[in-house]
Amino acid sequence: MNDLLQSVVNGLLIGAVLALVAVGLTLIYGVMDVINFAHGEMVMLGMYTSFFAWSLLGLDPLLSIPLAGVSIALTGALMYVGAVGRVLGSSPLAQVIVTFGLQVFLRGLAQFLWTPNTRTVPRPWAVGLRWEIGGVVIGGPQAIMAVGALVATGAVAFFMNRTRLGGAVRAAGEDPAAASLMGIDPRRMYALCWVIAGFATGVAGALLMNSYSASPTAGVSFALMAFVVVAFGGFGSITGAALAGLLVGVAQGVVGLYAPSYTLAVALALYLVVVLVRPQGLLGTR
Amino acid sequence: MRRFVSITMALALVVGVAACGDGDEAGAGTEVRLAGLWPLSGPNATQGTDVLHGAELAVDIVNNDHPGVDLPLAPGAGLPGLGGAPIKLITGDTQGKPEVGAGEVDRLVTTEKVAAVIGSYQSGVTLTASQRAERLGVPFVNEASSSVALTERGLKWFFRTGPTDETFARSMFDYLRARQAKGERIGTVGVFHSNDQFGNDGAGVTEKVAAEIGLPVVVNVAFDPTAADLASQVTQVRAKNPDVLFVLAYTDAAIKLMKTLDQLAYHPPALLAYGTGFADPAFASGLGELADGVSTRAAWSGEIAAKRPAAKTVAELFQQRYGAPMTENSARAFTAVLALAQAIDAAGSVEPAAVRDALRALDVPGEKTIMPWTGIRFDGKGQNTGAAGVVEQMLDGRYRVVHPADLASTEAVWPMIRARQ
């Protein structure tokens, strides 16, 4: 029983990070109808930013959160201006191929620049923390990753739902023509989506460096789970992504306890079931 | 006139042959082409590159004069049995994928015309690549894949210089017995392994040897190597709390496991790993003191090198050339290339069947290698019967030999958590 509780808690903690990773993906899809296959690579770049902030500047991963967030936000803007923005309006296939191309390019670039070596921050500050509540152990890095991810996810949701600029982004997503009549430049709003997605993945990357290792393929498993989370929560829904992230995390945690080699299979099965039974996802509208 | 022509031709032939025999510039075209097939990109590229460096150093030792190295083929340049022909190593990249490995064997054999293939680090890739070499009738020498199944397939062209997981498992259980004799309570065993060829085979062998010895395996967890999180899997092990945890994992999962153990504050009395990720330099550098106390089987170590003069010289050459210490992966590749070179030299030919027969007849004494082995002699399955392993423990950031007693450089720390205090 205790182990089950422990697994649920583990699942919730990692699920919060999955939610943050998925937020950017669902935002770009919801507003622009573009599937970003390079999303995991943005997380990977965030992890490297945090790693180098530690190895070159001696910054703890927690202190490098703003740096990683801003750097990857800029990277996101660059990806939009340099590549994705140029194929908007052309065939959907071109959009898929451009983000897929970015994925291959960024992964290759990381391997070229930083070698395939696994890079780890040996003892981040959070490693020293640990809490035990009723037999359930919560490690510092896990807890901090989860809390940080929830705060960042909440910030993105607040921005999108409660601010004028967030409203403008949503308007550009719902009806670009009407939005431009209201003085909103849809292309700027699209660029802003990439900036927000970059910020979220950068923050996620820095949080992950409390416990994970950076390598050119480090983002792959998170991106895969982000796709599952987005499909589960509903394409375009930030709240859905947050909820689905936690659920997928718990599902994986509990399955990991009883059938440890099937965690990925279960997540992908979940994805298939959602696509077949409720294609719009939990909170999706389309 | 006719006679004049035939005499001139005969003379030309004699001169030509003599020129080749002298091994001068005219003979440079007769290089021996060998394929090195490793994961040079993808998640295991670090280890693949390390393996490649070991092989390159062996080629250098054969091709150039190294009078100071007490190993076969080191003095003098090239292979004397082939008129001093040099070895050319042609690399192929498996990307760590079995299907790519098999495809590369096709390319290397049919297009690059290699005489033999050396590879390919991961057991799963070696499995398919050697199968392809078998079909093409080309010798395949494996350096570092330890899956027992590889030499159980009845292949005619497959040779493995390194130890198998079974050899390693026996070394580790031998170590556990020695600890029991010292009064340690070891009643149960757990296995934690990645769900792939390497992990599943290794877990099977561990269970088999544990059963022989009479130690119950109370928990056997197969985790998905691509899983983002191992907390639940570790929770499952914790629930059974075995006295010794055997682990089979590549670098990323090995680091993840150590961090998860720490986060969940679960410390098994001993953790015994099957090298691989735990032998990667990134393991110790990435974890710092969290790595202390971990034990692993090893096929080679710097400490053993100190006891074998040739190994010490080779390790120094390696350090000079690559600015990094020689590891068990590079040492094993070095040994495989040198063994293959010795066989080709003895065969005096690059003809595949001749090389294979020479490999079968190969007999290298232990002191003519850089390994802690009794030598290199292949049995009917292509397995080197002289290969053996040692057990090392990470203490203060570096691996020290703790078993067997005659090679040990320090006493083991038990339970492992004490190594961090």
Report residue B116 as tokens.
């033999």
**pLDDT (0 to 100) of residue B206:** 94
Question: Quick one: closest CA in A to B284, which residue?
Answer: A122
A3:B231 CB<8 A = no
The answer, for B280 touching chain A at a CB cutoff of 8 Å, is yes
Which chain A residues are closer than 8 Å to B282 by Cβ?
Answer: 117-120, 213
pLDDT average, residue stretch B262-283: 89
Interval A26-40: pLDDT, tens: 999 989 889 999 999
pLDDT average, residue stretch A77-94: 90
Bridge partner list, B314: none
Interval A206-216: pLDDT, tens: 999 998 999 99
Query: Does B11 have pLDDT greater than 50?
Result: no
Candidates B46, B221, B288; nearest CB to A122: B288
Per CATH, domain A1-277 is 3.90.550: no
Candidates A118, A130, A221; nearest CB to B226: A221
Candidates B233, B251, B259; nearest CB to A260: B233
B228:A123 CB<8 A = no
A3:B264 CB<8 A = no
B256:A213 CB<8 A = yes
Architecture of domain B7-163+304-376: 3-Layer(aba) Sandwich (3.40)
Query: Does B270 have pLDDT greater than 90?
Result: yes
Interval B31-89: pLDDT, tens: 999 999 999 988 788 889 999 999 999 999 999 999 989 899 999 999 999 999 999 99
CATH of B166-298+390-420, one of 3.40.50.2000, 3.40.50.2300, 3.30.390.50, 3.40.50.300: 3.40.50.2300
Interval B91-145: pLDDT, tens: 999 999 999 999 999 999 999 999 999 999 999 999 999 999 999 999 999 998 9
Which chain A residues are closer than 8 Å to B252 by Cβ?
Answer: 118, 213, 215
DSSP count for chain B of H helices, then E strands? 13, 14
Determine what percent of chain B is predicted with pLDDT higher than 90.
63
Candidates A14, A140, A261; nearest CB to B229: A14
**pLDDT (0 to 100) of residue A286:** 52
**pLDDT (0 to 100) of residue B6:** 52
Which chain A residues are closer than 8 Å to B286 by Cβ?
Answer: 118-122, 213
Domain extents in chain B: 7-163+304-376, 166-298+390-420
Model-wide pTM > 0.90: no
Which chain B residues are closer than 8 Å to A110 by Cβ?
Answer: none
**pLDDT (0 to 100) of residue B91:** 95
Determine what percent of chain A is predicted with pLDDT higher than 90.
59
Which chain A residues are closer than 8 Å to B195 by Cβ?
Answer: 261
Question: Quick one: closest CA in B to A258, which residue?
Answer: B236
- Exposure class string for A109-132: b at 16+ Cβ within 10 A, else e: ebbeeeebbbbbbeebebbeebee
Which chain B residues are closer than 8 Å to A213 by Cβ?
Answer: 251-252, 255-256, 282, 286
Domain extents in chain A: 1-277
Residues A189, A163: contact at Cβ < 8 Å? no
Distance CA A264, CA B225 (A): 10
**pLDDT (0 to 100) of residue A20:** 96
Distance CA B272, CA B266 (A): 15
Residue with tokens 């927000």: A196
Question: Quick one: closest CA in B to A211, which residue?
Answer: B259
B229:A10 CB<8 A = yes
B228:A14 CB<8 A = yes
Interval A101-144: pLDDT, tens: 999 999 999 988 998 888 999 888 988 888 988 888 898 999 99
Where does the pLDDT of residue B26 fall: very low under 50, low under 70, confident under 90, or very high at 90 and above? very low
> Residue B326 burial by CB count (10 A; 0-12/13-18/19+): exposed, middle or buried?
buried
Distance CA B334, CA A212 (A): 32
Question: Quick one: closest CA in B to A3, which residue?
Answer: B235
Where does the pLDDT of residue B367 fall: very low under 50, low under 70, confident under 90, or very high at 90 and above? confident
CA distance B195 to chain A (A): 6
The answer, for B228 touching chain A at a CB cutoff of 8 Å, is yes
CA distances from B177 to A160, B215, B406 (A): 63, 10, 16
ipTM surpasses cut 0.85: no
Interval A156-174: pLDDT, tens: 999 999 999 999 999 998 8
B282:A254 CB<8 A = no
Query: Does A15 have pLDDT greater than 70?
Result: yes
Residues B110, B133: contact at Cβ < 8 Å? no
Domains B7-163+304-376 and B166-298+390-420 are alike in CATH topology? yes
Q: Which of A261, A262, A266 has the highest number of chain B CBs within 10 A, making it the mutation to test binding with B?
A: A261
Q: What residue spans of B224-327 are helical by DSSP H?
A: 231-240, 251-263, 281-287, 302-305, 309-322
Query: Does B349 have pLDDT greater than 70?
Result: yes
**pLDDT (0 to 100) of residue B3:** 52
**Position B59, amino acid:** V
Distance CA B33, CA B36 (A): 10
Q: Name, in order, each residue with C-beta under 8 angstroms of A68's C-beta and a sequence gap of 6 or more.
A: A46, A49, A50, A53, A202, A203, A205, A206
**Position B101, amino acid:** G
Q: What is the DSSP letter of B32?
A: E
The answer, for B282 touching chain A at a CB cutoff of 8 Å, is yes
Q: Name, in order, each residue with C-beta under 8 angstroms of B37's C-beta and a sequence gap of 6 or more.
A: B91, B92, B94, B101, B104, B105, B108, B117, B118, B119, B120, B129
A252:B224 CB<8 A = no
A139:B195 CB<8 A = no
Bridge partner list, B116: B34
Tell me the average pLDDT of chain B: 88
